[in-house]
Structure 1
Amino acid sequence: MRTAVTTAEERSLVFEGFAYQCRIVPQPAPQTAPLVLLGGSSQNRYSWLGHEKWLAPLCTLITVDLPGYGSADFLPARHGIDFLAAAVRHMLVELGMPRVNLFGGCFGEVVGLRFAQMYPEFVSRIVFCGAAKRLPESYVDAVPRLSRALERGEIAQAADGLVRMFMSNPGAGQVRKHAAVARLLYRQFMSQTPDELRKALEHNTRLTTHGCYEPLPVPDVPSLVFTGEYDTLCTPQMGREVAAAMPSARFTTVKEADHLAPVERRQEVADLIGRFCTDRPIDDLPYCTPVEDPRRVAVPRSRFHDGRP
């Protein structure tokens, strides 16, 4: 295997008046197209450093703090998911990358799917983790409580609620590093700056105002949707629904993991993404459940809150 490239380039960009930053880890002898990693709302462009040792030998990696997230400018909630998808396109045009492999995790999936729908010509392959076509009920229920706690400065209470929302109940099943990841998530939230907390509040407003899904065409490219087998936020069934709405998507779950599978099983998730993006087999992997084709299984209409097929 090639040695991972360790030198990364930081770029500062401006889209529609909002400054944002991206990080590029180049691979001079790539096996596949550049890989764009769009993480969750609480992640930033450095959240994937631990995955680089397995992914950087395969291709150029791009991570980004989109407007409204990480160290980028604050983005008012009137700017929705279409705006963020357009910012991803702006970044790729500025970087001279006309075609990429696309990964989106949690909120990154929301932005990634909209990007693929709006700008399909940029997408070679799609990988989504922790995906959903509708806002999880637990999120909708928790957002008002979390927002009120943050507005009152009750950071510890909000952090505790965030951990409970993102992580599975300990009785749901065996999850690798469950206690350690819960502590990590709690510490990360407690250490947020006032600017980061303000962005977190605006993120909740953005998502509840604009929603997370539009029934637009999805490019017919090789696609994979996965999540942890014990994901209680964006459940495996919700992931299957997303995969069923895509022309060429397969679905699997990562064993002994929940919504935070990329943290709990970092090497395995990096291996799964790398395999898929380099057209290597993903069937019969010891850390995954059997790969499914959700389009062959009828999803009951009643599963959708909006009644769409």
Structure 2
Amino acid sequence: MPTDAITSSPAPTADGALPLPPQATDAEVRNTEQPAEIVEQDLTFDGFRYTCRIARQGRLDTEPVVILGGSSQDRNSWQRHEKWLTPLSSVITVDLPGYGTADFLPAKYGVDFLAAAVRHVVQELRIPRINLVAACYGGAIGVRFAQHYPHLLERMMLVGMTTVIPADYAVAMERWDGMIRRGETEPIARELADRFMSPPGTGHVRKKAAVARLVYQQIASQNPEQLRMSAEHNSRLMRHEWYRPEPTPAVPGLVVTGEHDTLTTPAMGRTMAACLPAARFMTIEETDHLAPVERIADFADLMARFCTDRPLEGLPYASEPEVFGTPRPA
């Protein structure tokens, strides 16, 4: 969910690179309460303006973490996770073209274009390789990025990602597309909130009522431009290939699904993990499709562990990792 941001906008360096926040001193690293430094910069890819956000606090223990959120998220939606990640590395979020405050992107531009836009972010920041965390729709972009630009990827974590869009969801999208274009925000907000949350009786989900209200309010309060982007996003989903079985690099991979996720189920997550050459699969306990906001601290801990190669076994908030493929040698 979007939250407030404190931003500054420094100019690019002499060679055109967007400057990362400076290296923290040892004393600053030890101060875990020190707020992260935030840098925001507008960039342009193929004529479309978009915005990149960088948060940085401590030393570089791992490659920068690039987070691609779902279609209803923006570059500010992951701020509450940053305090666990910024002591380890830079955290980069982005409003890609067609999302958040970026320029409107016609539906003829699909997942390949958005994956190329992520590559543009990495190149503009002069980053050799990244840790990629990609959730839901961001997962489709993340997998395509991995397939097309493997030399830029160090690790990849997918959240609520499947190889196919569920059939009932695909049918519903056509109906939602018409509702959005007619401005029927209240009923579609209610439907989407119900769709993202697991139905009653599925199992205990933390913060379920509060998160459902947040999802509803976020969708119901969209302004005309946001509604226009939402309608175009639905058209993009219907017109372009979601997952393409192209070769994927054998970098460390982790596929994560909420224990009670009924939109992208654990079975779908295991199928996704089986398509990656070096992946593990885990479920987050007492969560559904919105696990990252239902267990913020625990989910951030899992991201930090994965991106720094720490053990994933025996975690109190997750299942034991299931291994798919062959891990890359250290």
The TM-score normalised by the length of structure 2 is: 0.87
Structure 1 stretches (4+) deviating beyond 6 angstroms? none
Report Cα offsets for 1:199-229 as digits up to 9, x if no partner: 1111111111102101111111111000101
In 1, Cα distance between equivalents of 2:58 and 2:139? 28
Q: CA deviation at 1:26?
A: 2.4
In 1, Cα distance between equivalents of 2:278 and 2:307? 14
Q: CA deviation at 1:141?
A: 2.3
Q: CA deviation at 1:145?
A: 2.0
In 1, Cα distance between equivalents of 2:184 and 2:156? 39
Residues 42 and 51, structure 2, Cα contact 8 Å, conserved in 1? yes
In 1, Cα distance between equivalents of 2:181 and 2:62? 45
In 1, Cα distance between equivalents of 2:307 and 2:87? 12
Secondary structure of the 2:72 match is coil
Report what 1:116 is aligned to. 146
Q: What code does the residue aligned with 1:37 have?
A: I
Report what 2:260 is aligned to. 230
Structure 2 segments unaligned to the other structure (5+ residues):
1-28
Q: CA deviation at 1:293?
A: 1.8
Q: 1:155 aligns with which of 157, 182, 185?
A: 185
In 1, Cα distance between equivalents of 2:242 and 2:50? 22
Report what 1:134 is aligned to. 164
Structure 1 segments unaligned to the other structure (5+ residues):
297-309
In 1, Cα distance between equivalents of 2:106 and 2:172? 21
Secondary structure of the 1:8 match is strand
In 1, Cα distance between equivalents of 2:172 and 2:182? 16
Report what 1:304 is aligned to. none
Residues 116 and 123, structure 1, Cα contact 8 Å, conserved in 2? yes
Instruction: Give the total of aligned pairs.
Output: 296
Q: What code does the residue aligned with 2:43 have?
A: L
In 2, Cα distance between equivalents of 1:116 and 1:237? 22
Q: 1:58 aligns with which of 88, 112, 135?
A: 88
Report what 1:175 is aligned to. 205
Q: CA deviation at 1:240?
A: 0.7
Q: 2:77 aligns with which of 43, 47, 53?
A: 47
In 2, Cα distance between equivalents of 1:289 and 1:213? 26
Q: What code does the residue aligned with 2:37 have?
A: T
Secondary structure of the 1:112 match is helix
Residues 119 and 149, structure 2, Cα contact 8 Å, conserved in 1? yes
Q: What code does the residue aligned with 2:252 have?
A: P
Report what 1:143 is aligned to. 173
Given the alignment of the two structures, is residue 24 of structure 1 paired with residue 58 of structure 2, yes or no? no
Residues 36 and 57, structure 2, Cα contact 8 Å, conserved in 1? no
Q: What code does the residue aligned with 1:240 have?
A: R
Secondary structure of the 1:128 match is strand
Q: What code does the residue aligned with 2:65 have?
A: L
In 1, Cα distance between equivalents of 2:315 and 2:62? 21
Secondary structure of the 1:230 match is coil
Secondary structure of the 2:37 match is coil
Change (3 A) 1:85 1:9: same
Report what 1:37 is aligned to. 67
Report what 1:271 is aligned to. 301
Secondary structure of the 1:293 match is strand
In 1, Cα distance between equivalents of 2:314 and 2:153? 26
In 1, Cα distance between equivalents of 2:61 and 2:200? 39
Report Cα offsets for 1:211-259 as digits up to 9, x if no partner: 2101111111111000101111111111111110001000010000000
Q: What code does the residue aligned with 2:237 have?
A: L
Secondary structure of the 2:103 match is coil
Report what 1:256 is aligned to. 286
Q: CA deviation at 1:73?
A: 0.4
Q: CA deviation at 1:137?
A: 2.1
Q: CA deviation at 1:46?
A: 0.2
In 1, Cα distance between equivalents of 2:88 and 2:168? 37
Secondary structure of the 2:270 match is helix
The TM-score normalised by the length of structure 1 is: 0.93
Give the fraction of aligned pairs with identical amino acids, expressed as a percent. Answer: 54
Residues 138 and 233, structure 1, Cα contact 8 Å, conserved in 2? no
In 1, Cα distance between equivalents of 2:111 and 2:149? 13
